[in-house]
Amino acid sequence: MSGSLTIVGLGPADEALVTPEVQAALASATDVVGYIPYVARVPDRDGLTKHASDNRVEIDRSRHALQMAANGKQVVVVSSGDPGVFAMASAVFEALEAGPKFWRTLDIRVLPGITAMLAAAAKAGAPLGHDFCAINLSDNLKPWDLIEKRIRLAIEADFACAFYNPRSKARPAGFVRVLEVLRDVCEPERLITFARAVTTTDEAITTIPLQDARPEMADMKTVVLLGSSQTRLVQREGMAPIVYTPRSVSV
């Protein structure tokens, strides 16, 4: 039996948001590979072996998955959200390019999932309803100067922005600097949404003016959505407001 490698997204958290295509891949897998909390989301069953590993070992994890597929296993690599958005798909292909030539003959598929910014945007309304960009605020794999440059250019282009990995215990000062940069280039009333633990029982969606934002509002379970200059907030009596960015641009 020939092996295969499928790279999947498990969505933000709610099992109802895992696509049927991903569910089918997991049901036929012999081996599941991924970061510890994501592998834990896959139910145990006979015939399935789980290979959970810690964070920051993505390339080692990818090599292991590729080699198991080369040995005839039906391997599924899991990510949260979508595997192509700051997740495992790129890591697998990086390992593939640098690895043995025969790995390139493997049956490899990428199955999409619902990434955090889309789940968060849906909860808030439609803040990404016009042009937008996504920026990973972690400086583990790129320098801070590049992060700041991209933020400034995104605001200059008037994109709405989705910020991933805003603030960890290891780098709490980074998001402090992000807010300083945003206040330097944005109007104080620009809308910013903190979406924490989306689709879980701890979910919290908070939209405020940029001038009221504080660093401690974000952590690694939070995706931060910054509106463009066109983004609007619709108040509703007794109900959560709706945040949206119009499809057309007024100049």
Regarding whether 237 and 218 lie in a shared domain, the answer is yes
Residue 71 has pLDDT above 90, yes or no: yes
pLDDT for the residue 2? 86
Regarding whether 210 and 176 lie in a shared domain, the answer is yes
Regarding whether 239 and 145 lie in a shared domain, the answer is yes
Residues 6+ apart with CB under 8 A from 33: 39, 51, 53, 61, 64, 65, 68, 75, 76, 77, 78
Provide the strand spans (E) within the chain. 4-9, 31-35, 49-53, 74-79, 107-111, 125-126, 132-136, 160-164, 191-196, 204-209, 222-226, 232-236, 239-244
Regarding whether 96 and 27 lie in a shared domain, the answer is yes
43 found inside a domain? yes
Regarding whether 96 and 206 lie in a shared domain, the answer is no
205 found inside a domain? yes
Please identify, among 47, 81, 114, the residue that sits at the C-terminal boundary of a domain.
Answer: 114
Regarding whether 79 and 139 lie in a shared domain, the answer is no
Paired strand residues for 9: 79
250 within 8 A of 190, measured Cβ to Cβ: no
pLDDT tens per residue, range 87-106: 999 999 999 999 999 999 99
249 found inside a domain? no
Please identify, among 96, 114, 132, the residue that sits at the C-terminal boundary of a domain.
Answer: 114
* pLDDT band for position 65 (cuts 50, 70, 90): very high
Regarding whether 98 and 61 lie in a shared domain, the answer is yes
250 found inside a domain? no
Regarding whether 75 and 175 lie in a shared domain, the answer is no
Tell the residue number behind the tokens 């583990």, with chain if given: 140
Kindly report the CATH number assigned to the domain that includes residue 182.
3.30.950.10
Regarding whether 121 and 103 lie in a shared domain, the answer is no
Regarding whether 131 and 91 lie in a shared domain, the answer is no
60 within 8 A of 99, measured Cβ to Cβ: no
193 found inside a domain? yes
pLDDT tens per residue, range 122-159: 999 999 999 999 999 999 999 999 999 999 999 999 99
* Structural domain containing residue 210: 117-244
What does pTM read for this prediction?
Answer: 0.94
Please identify, among 79, 114, 149, the residue that sits at the C-terminal boundary of a domain.
Answer: 114
pLDDT tens per residue, range 158-190: 999 999 999 988 888 999 999 999 999 999 999
Low-confidence winner among 167-176, 224-233, 234-243 (lowest mean pLDDT)? 167-176
For 147, the token pair is 């992060």
Query: What's the domain count of the chain?
Result: 2
Regarding whether 98 and 124 lie in a shared domain, the answer is no
Regarding whether 58 and 143 lie in a shared domain, the answer is no
Element holding 66 (H helix, E strand): helix 58-70
* pLDDT band for position 1 (cuts 50, 70, 90): low
Tell the residue number behind the tokens 């834990």, with chain if given: 40
